[in-house]
Chains A and B, each alone.
With several copies, the nearest count.
Chain A
Amino acid sequence: MTAKPVVRVQAQDFDTAKELEAMTKGQTNIGAVVSFTGLCRDEGGVLETLELEHYAGMATAQLNDIAQQACKRWPLEHLLVIHRYGKIPPGKNIVLVIATSSHRQAAFDGASFVMDFLKTNAPFWKKEHFKDGSTGQWVEAKDKDDKARDRWD
């Protein structure tokens, strides 16, 4: 079974619960569903909002590419990837990945693989705006994110 992944790049919020329901409702041959939701953290209360800049055309293309690679590597039934852009306050959703499969390890690995590649390869950039009104800081890329991606080689 090769899933046809669904990718959405959008400003508006999503609802993890509803997306999960839509993906599994009425299905009787899915053994495993793994969802990953990435949320905006308040960084100990100091963050006012996180601004996500993106390269529109390429973002969708890259996420599709990553999702298709995941579908080639693991027997996934469904794969959904949603990534938001724009200003996101603490506690709100940034990214969602849902993978379903007959096999639990495929669902875990598929979702984890998408997140690791998305972090380093999808053209999004985070800027932090603080409550004290200080100018936003661009979030720096982390070496450990490169390592997380490279473990799939």
Chain B
Amino acid sequence: MKILYFAWIRERIGLPSEDISLSKDIETVQQFLDWMKTRGENFEYALEHDQVVRIALNQQHCNDFSTRLDGINEIAIFPPMTGG
């Protein structure tokens, strides 16, 4: 699984991206985020406020964190967007 981080979430985690083999126990976006927060202080700090964490699966916005990860090979985590 390719994981991408952007903006201050990227800065807090300290990495722009990772390639990770996810455990088969991680079936949904919520389970993925819960596991991410256990990976260290930087991850916990970056993801502490659920309401400002945005997720994209295969470059499509995902608003429902119960969505399953079947068929997904790219997950992006970022704060609310501020373009334009």
Contacts and interface: CB of A to CB of B under 8 A. Distances in A.
A–B direct touch in complex (beta carbons closer than 8 A): yes
Interface of A: 38, 52-55, 57-58, 61-62, 83, 94-95, 104, 115, 118-127, 138-141
A124 B61 CA distance: 13
B71 interface: no
Contacts of B32: none
B3 interface: no
A36 to B, nearest CB: 9
B6 A52 contact: no
Contacts of A95: 83-84
Contacts of B6: 53, 55, 123, 125
Main secondary structure of the interface of A (DSSP, over half): mixed
B81 A122 contact: yes
B59 interface: yes
A121 B6 CA distance: 14
A123 B78 contact: yes
Contact of B81 (A38, A94, A104, A125): A125
Nearest to A104: B84
A2 B59 CA distance: 26
**B4, B59, B84 interface centre (most CB from chain A within 10 Å):** B84
Interface in B14-71: 56, 59-61
